[in-house]
Structure 1
Amino acid sequence: MKAYRIAIVGLGPKGLYAFERLLAQLGKLEIDKNIEVHLFEKSGNFGAGEIYDPVQPSYLLMNYPNRNINVWPSEILKPVVDNRLSFAEWIAKATYSKDSNLNDHFASRSMVGYYLTECFEKLYRAGISSYRIVKHRSSVVSIIKKAGVYELGYLDELDAKDQFLTVNNILISTGHCSWKGQLQEKEKPESTSETRKSFIPFIYPVDSKLSPIQSNTQVAIKGMGLTFIDALLALTEGRGGRFIKKDDESYIYEPSKREPGKIYGFCRSGLPMIPRSTGEGKKPYLPVFFTLRSIYGRIVPGDKPSFLKNILPLYILEAEYNFYKVAFHKRGLNLDPDDDVDRFRCQILKFHKDYPNEQTFNFENIFKPVDFQNPTYNLGPLAYLRYVMSEAELGSEKSPFMAAVLTWGNISEQFSAIYNFGGMTAESHRFFDLNYRSQLNRISYGPPLTNMKKILALMEYGILNLDYSKNPVVKRKNNKWTLKVANRVPVNAEVLVDARIPTNTSRDNWSELLIGLQNNELLREFIVPGKESYNTGCPEVDRSGRLIDSKGNINPDITLYGTLTEGITYDNDSLSRTKNNFASDWALRTAMSYSNIGLNSNIKTLRKI
């Protein structure tokens, strides 16, 4: 019997989780196992991928506390290896740390990478005793179906040769690389070296990608999310600058004279992310207003909920409840945990009557550069940054503002259950994706407070300028970039850095692999039906992650997992083992599929005898 070949394309964290479940399921089989497992990871960092490269600079921090990182699942079927440590346990052992707060810290991405690769090596060593496991430092660029099996075309990263492999079963977990179609075009060599030096379309790995930027140059950075922070730190701390901590835990910046002369950050909203302290998210959260029962109880059975009519109002109520829960507590009062809106409003009215100077909740102000205590005018970039940092220092148990801001992260699981697989109306999906997704990411999934203190120090020193941060007009002329905003003199930058992570805004962003799958009719775009159907820019899968082909048929042999499904699913955190977990179902199906083939082969062999 020919070997049954399984391929995992993309061996970052999601591919690692799938590999772990696959070995666990295959280990249950009681028939002879003639199995090959082929693992494709172009970075060579098996288990960590490109984002969690173990050799990246240590100043690039996670925005995910240590307690949430654990390769080993809490499932009935146990992993095939012993001595399974969570990330925090692994750090304690590796560093001999006795820090009781280690669970709450934000580690470097490189440290997470070391953990992930070590877990992979444990699994790899356990698996090679039973199966042929092949590691390919390669990019899979095509998948073609031929006579019931699949031919993978891949490019070896070391010798740049095109190669092919026939496989039976495939899981694809290529993460953000899935949406690098346009980006790859931008990264191609252009006509002159001067043009290449003036535009950097992607910052990772930071050491090599940002190296063309010379000291004392003027730099503009597009995007002000987590990648923006990484770019800033790479151009300052990464070039020998020092952040010196003061007694009040704030920083001052001491330059190295090798950093840019000025850095201009900008994005559509013009606002930085709201940071989080280490203690956020430790306690389980039980929604009061934003429940599935409340949402579906307000619509006709069989209808889909509307984001504006059925979902947003309950989110606002939930944020308002969290805001006042803290405000009441600061006055020694308790807010009744009751989902009766009228009673809730009565409590709020009485509270403001008794305490007229207390700040009033205004949902729109969550997204504006204002102080909740005095929201009559907009704060400047420096003042706003100081405000949100002071609130983050207090945390969501003491700051009504932070309690409201972090509400979305607490209810995202409930929202995912509604959003996934076209659960809202087409108009709602479009409206949410275009108007709310990025705003909610900015306020809910911000960086650790330590990193934002460094950003503040760079502003106070004067190297970082956010005066042109709100959606400037950007024009290129003579290999320079001009930033224009109303009521300010335009400024020029020698280099423009795009500090945004690729997303699936349309099929134009699809990778070569996805485009090939579509051209070969193995894939189609997920479209939410409606009066005006919505093209999500995401490949369509069923609720187990199995690919849907051009004719609407389920392909049991190809499964997508992780960021690649963002748009048909929501909130695919790269390190989560539970959110939109297609790995466990895939591993079980794969083992069952091989088991059936193995049993049939054994029957044929007996008949021949």
Structure 2
Amino acid sequence: MATDNSVNAAPIHLAIVGGGPTCTYVLERLAALVRGRREAAALEIVIYDLSGEFGPGQVHSPDQTRTSYLNRVVGQVAFAADESVVDAGPLLPTSERPTLLQWCRRKFEETGDPLYDVVAEDWPRRFVHGEALRDQFTVYVEILRAVEGVEVTLRQAEVVDLEERGDRFAVLTADGAPAYEADYVLMLTGHSSNRPELDPRQAPLARFSAEHPAHFIPSAYPLERSLTPAHTGPGTTVACLGMGLTGIDVLLYLTEGRGGRFERDADGELVYRPCGAEPDSIVAFSRSGLFTFARPYNEKERDIAALEYKGPFLTTAAVAELRRTVGVPNVIGGAPKRQLDFERHVFPLILLEMALIQYGVLYGPEFREAAVRAAQPAYEKFLADADAFADHHEAGAFLVAPVEELARGLAERVDDVLAGRTVQAAHLDGESADGLPPVDRAVRSFLTVVYGAEQAEALLSEAGDPQAFAAAVAAAESPWRHATRAAEHRFSWERTINPVPVPEAGYASPEEYVETFLDFLDRDIRWASQGNLSNPAKAAADAAWRDMRGVVIEAVDFGGLLASSHRTFLGVYTPHHNRLCQGASVEAMEKVTALIKSGRVDISVGPGARVECDEERGLFRVGSPVTGAVRYADALVDARVHSFDAERDVMPIYPNLLRRGIVRKWVNPGVGEPDFVPGGLDLTPEFHPVRADGSVEPRITFLGPPSEGVMYHQIGALRPNKDHHVIRDILCWIHAFMPQESPAGGETKELERNPS
């Protein structure tokens, strides 16, 4: 609590621009720190939010449609620092810092509403997350206001500019109210969009829409305002450009959100019952023609610390060694940096990890141990001279080859057992002379993956009679539609990212393509339901692209990649990452499948689809040579996530800050090639902007999308028990004006920040 002498201290003036989820986390840390502080801090905090949705922000508004899902399971969402956060400082009592799971359980006890009756692995609706954020925001504000010397003011207003006034910045708002002068400004503006007239992808569509009956919607959110019945109601065809999470939100809002219902038929299949308020047709399309893949059931929730993957090959030490051996010297932010080529130097290691994980799940831990040993010589050679290979295809094949050879040899023996060509599995024990693990254990592991533990045990009970065993295996069916021969389980990056391949001559008809696509969706949903530890392909994607994302961040951040490689990474590999491990829930993908089968959602244009402006009809034309389908749309919604660009942003604050020279865009300088300018701000590791003159402005801090470019993957909800980077980033800001107290109450110490 505050001491007497602190009451008269001049307050520190803080302005927080953006009252959404990250602001909630900020207030939690401030609340815990000021309440538990021996030397009280006098703070005057003004929080601005245009929507007035303090806590959830507009994206997670509790008042939004109930059809949108949060892109994270309940058990992976928190609102406060916990014991895992290094140097967090005082923690609030557990009753004041519930996780989303605990908040939902409490809400269910209070209301009895089954909406809140969830377990850790469930996928919540986004508005539920918003309700919890609003509640926790209110709790933290009340804690702060109860501390003597602390004031908190909430202002529903749009911040349009920051004006330097001596040692402070004046916060200017669109309503013309007197400017608040802040010692420190924290910018938490969250997701935004770009002005269509400044976006070369959107400008022609916007101009066409202005002159013709066709209606262009440059940004999908908020759905309730952008997708009005006047333009997307009955009698219309709506084209949805983008098949990621935003695109799925659009499909569900225009159908279920309008009053349609999903029901199970007698066979348990989900079917869609229209209500009549939907568009006649929703044409979903994208460059890849693929939705994000279904996110697997999260088996790791039972013990995250033990079960999240830590690979032997894709490591920060490997990245450092590659910088030493093949890194290209450059100067980034005035300091020397050895840059890598993501595709040539990092991606082959991801392939190696994926192959190792996939076969390790399929054949068991002993195969994995043998494969790690077998791959080590090639791995060391790659680290020593990754540039010795013609391209990433050759490098990836070289690294994966030892694992493939081991898997191929074991698959032959497993198939011999399954076909009754060798003695029963129970008699095949011990490691073979060629380094293969015990075949009996590989058979057991394979059968468990393909058929499930219960059916595997039933099959193995016949192992004493090879012929009876082979007959039982041949008659069995995999509930996840796995291939039943081990030889057919081959790791393939191309099949992984292109599971609906295009025949050389294209598809005979749009209907054939849709049938093929639905077949893939069925298999993908089944695989996702098996889980991220039990399904080989889902385990490989989840571990290599999600659990090990910190290594990729280490490779990318602050000019870690060559300019051209950085462009390729964001344009090619980030979409792969999003599709492989940032997908929608099984429940959402079942609904998408039902919408396609109902004919309400049309995916028949397929991959490579392009949108054109049909002057004669005054409509948007969507077509692709792959299927031959052509569709005309009355409305077109751009459901792609806009990358942050300070010059093009619809919010005036960023163009104004650029104009004043308070910020500048970050540039990855090319070495013998053009520079790359992603669009985000030039920031220090402490998230302070570098001004136009090259000096650092320590009074302003940017967290979230504006940091994308110089840093990677800075957006995301807070996770419990994770020492989450968002909390560490927030502490970095707080300790600039409120230094951390030592445990003994003596000298303060600076916060050590781990940028991973």
SS of residue matched to 1:43 = coil
- Going from structure 1 to structure 2, the CA distance change for 1:529 and 1:357 (only over 3 Å counts) comes to same
Q: 1:295 aligns with which of 316, 319, 333?
A: 319
- Going from structure 1 to structure 2, the CA distance change for 1:28 and 1:516 (only over 3 Å counts) comes to farther
Superposition pairs of residues 361-376 of structure 1, within 5 angstroms: 361-370=491-500
Code of the residue aligned with 1:551 in structure 2: it is D
State the Cα distance separating 1:490 from its structure 2 match. Answer: 2.4
State the Cα distance separating 1:139 from its structure 2 match. Answer: 1.3
Partner of 1:91: 104
Structure 2: which 5+ runs fail to align? Answer: 1-8, 302-306, 326-336, 378-401, 416-485, 508-512, 741-756
State the Cα distance separating 1:501 from its structure 2 match. Answer: 2.4
The question of whether the paired residues in 2 share the 8 Å contact of 1:80 and 1:126 is answered with no
State the Cα distance separating 1:125 from its structure 2 match. Answer: 0.9
Taking the aligned partners of 1:198 and 1:461, their CA distance within structure 2 comes to: 25
Partner of 1:274: 293
State the Cα distance separating 1:353 from its structure 2 match. Answer: 3.6
State the Cα distance separating 1:193 from its structure 2 match. Answer: 8.9
Q: Give me the TM-score of the superposition, normalised by structure 2.
A: 0.72
- Using the TM superposition, name which of 507-516 and 251-260 deviates more: 507-516
Superposition pairs of residues 415-426 of structure 1, within 5 angstroms: 415-426=552-563
State the Cα distance separating 1:137 from its structure 2 match. Answer: 0.8
Superposition pairs of residues 156-167 of structure 1, within 5 angstroms: 156=175, 161=176, 163-167=178-182
SS of residue matched to 2:186 = strand
Taking the aligned partners of 1:138 and 1:339, their CA distance within structure 2 comes to: 60
State the Cα distance separating 1:514 from its structure 2 match. Answer: 1.3
- Going from structure 1 to structure 2, the CA distance change for 1:192 and 1:483 (only over 3 Å counts) comes to closer
Taking the aligned partners of 1:244 and 1:154, their CA distance within structure 2 comes to: 48
Partner of 1:338: 372
Q: Deviations over 1:314-365 (max 9, x none)?
A: 00101111111122149x9665462651563542242244346332111122
SS of residue matched to 1:122 = helix
Partner of 2:738: 591
Partner of 1:318: 353
Higher normalized helix content (fraction of residues): 2
Code of the residue aligned with 1:298 in structure 2: it is L
Q: 2:191 aligns with which of 172, 176, 197?
A: 176
Partner of 2:342: 307
SS of residue matched to 1:202 = coil
Superposition pairs of residues 255-266 of structure 1, within 5 angstroms: 255-266=274-285
Matched, 1:557 2:699: yes
Code of the residue aligned with 1:425 in structure 2: it is L
Partner of 2:624: 485
- Going from structure 1 to structure 2, the CA distance change for 1:101 and 1:339 (only over 3 Å counts) comes to farther
Q: 1:127 aligns with which of 127, 144, 166?
A: 144
Matched, 1:65 2:73: yes
The question of whether the paired residues in 2 share the 8 Å contact of 1:8 and 1:19 is answered with no
State the Cα distance separating 1:588 from its structure 2 match. Answer: 1.2
- Using the TM superposition, name which of 41-50 and 24-33 deviates more: 24-33
SS of residue matched to 1:294 = helix
- Going from structure 1 to structure 2, the CA distance change for 1:9 and 1:349 (only over 3 Å counts) comes to same
State the Cα distance separating 1:148 from its structure 2 match. Answer: 1.9
Q: Give me the TM-score of the superposition, normalised by structure 1.
A: 0.88
SS of residue matched to 1:166 = strand
Partner of 2:127: 110
Partner of 2:612: 475
Partner of 1:389: 525
Code of the residue aligned with 1:462 in structure 2: it is G
Partner of 1:199: 216
The question of whether the paired residues in 2 share the 8 Å contact of 1:37 and 1:132 is answered with yes
Higher normalized strand content (fraction of residues): 1
State the Cα distance separating 1:570 from its structure 2 match. Answer: 1.5
Taking the aligned partners of 2:196 and 2:29, their CA distance within structure 1 comes to: 34
- Using the TM superposition, name which of 111-120 and 582-591 deviates more: 582-591
Q: Deviations over 1:505-553 (max 9, x none)?
A: 6743474211111111111111122313321211011111111111222
Structure 1: which 5+ runs fail to align? Answer: 594-609
State the Cα distance separating 1:267 from its structure 2 match. Answer: 0.9
Taking the aligned partners of 2:651 and 2:245, their CA distance within structure 1 comes to: 23
Superposition pairs of residues 133-152 of structure 1, within 5 angstroms: 133-152=152-171
Q: Deviations over 1:154-174 (max 9, x none)?
A: 124xxxx45522211001011
Code of the residue aligned with 1:529 in structure 2: it is P
Taking the aligned partners of 2:590 and 2:40, their CA distance within structure 1 comes to: 58
The question of whether the paired residues in 1 share the 8 Å contact of 2:185 and 2:699 is answered with yes
SS of residue matched to 1:103 = coil
SS of residue matched to 1:64 = coil
- Using the TM superposition, name which of 542-551 and 422-431 deviates more: 422-431
Matched, 1:350 2:358: no
Code of the residue aligned with 1:199 in structure 2: it is F
State the Cα distance separating 1:30 from its structure 2 match. Answer: 5.5
Q: Deviations over 1:107-141 (max 9, x none)?
A: 11111001001111011111123322110111111
Partner of 1:523: 663
Taking the aligned partners of 2:20 and 2:158, their CA distance within structure 1 comes to: 13
Matched, 1:10 2:152: no
Q: Deviations over 1:195-236 (max 9, x none)?
A: 687222222232232122121311111111111111111111
Higher Cα Rg: structure 1 or 2? 2
State the Cα distance separating 1:403 from its structure 2 match. Answer: 2.2
Taking the aligned partners of 1:511 and 1:216, their CA distance within structure 2 comes to: 34
Q: 2:59 aligns with which of 51, 65, 68?
A: 51
SS of residue matched to 2:133 = helix
Taking the aligned partners of 2:68 and 2:159, their CA distance within structure 1 comes to: 28
Taking the aligned partners of 1:552 and 1:539, their CA distance within structure 2 comes to: 12
Q: Deviations over 1:467-495 (max 9, x none)?
A: 11423232223541111222525221111
Partner of 2:254: 235
Matched, 1:244 2:263: yes
SS of residue matched to 1:528 = coil
- Going from structure 1 to structure 2, the CA distance change for 1:146 and 1:438 (only over 3 Å counts) comes to same
Partner of 1:450: 587
Taking the aligned partners of 2:353 and 2:680, their CA distance within structure 1 comes to: 30
Code of the residue aligned with 1:582 in structure 2: it is D
Code of the residue aligned with 2:295 in structure 1: it is R
The question of whether the paired residues in 2 share the 8 Å contact of 1:25 and 1:587 is answered with no
The question of whether the paired residues in 1 share the 8 Å contact of 2:319 and 2:555 is answered with no
- Going from structure 1 to structure 2, the CA distance change for 1:461 and 1:591 (only over 3 Å counts) comes to same
Matched, 1:508 2:648: yes
- Going from structure 1 to structure 2, the CA distance change for 1:333 and 1:285 (only over 3 Å counts) comes to closer
Code of the residue aligned with 1:464 in structure 2: it is V
- Using the TM superposition, name which of 529-538 and 60-69 deviates more: 529-538
The question of whether the paired residues in 2 share the 8 Å contact of 1:22 and 1:588 is answered with no
- Going from structure 1 to structure 2, the CA distance change for 1:53 and 1:268 (only over 3 Å counts) comes to same
State the Cα distance separating 1:59 from its structure 2 match. Answer: 2.2
Superposition pairs of residues 73-88 of structure 1, within 5 angstroms: 73-74=81-82, 75=85, 76-79=88-91, 83-88=96-101
Code of the residue aligned with 2:167 in structure 1: it is G
SS of residue matched to 1:434 = helix
The question of whether the paired residues in 1 share the 8 Å contact of 2:564 and 2:670 is answered with yes
The question of whether the paired residues in 1 share the 8 Å contact of 2:666 and 2:678 is answered with yes
State the Cα distance separating 1:55 from its structure 2 match. Answer: 1.1
SS of residue matched to 2:588 = helix
Taking the aligned partners of 1:370 and 1:397, their CA distance within structure 2 comes to: 24
Aligned identity (percent) is 24
Partner of 2:475: none
Taking the aligned partners of 1:510 and 1:208, their CA distance within structure 2 comes to: 16
Taking the aligned partners of 1:507 and 1:290, their CA distance within structure 2 comes to: 36
RMSD: 3.1
The question of whether the paired residues in 2 share the 8 Å contact of 1:504 and 1:510 is answered with no
SS of residue matched to 1:170 = strand
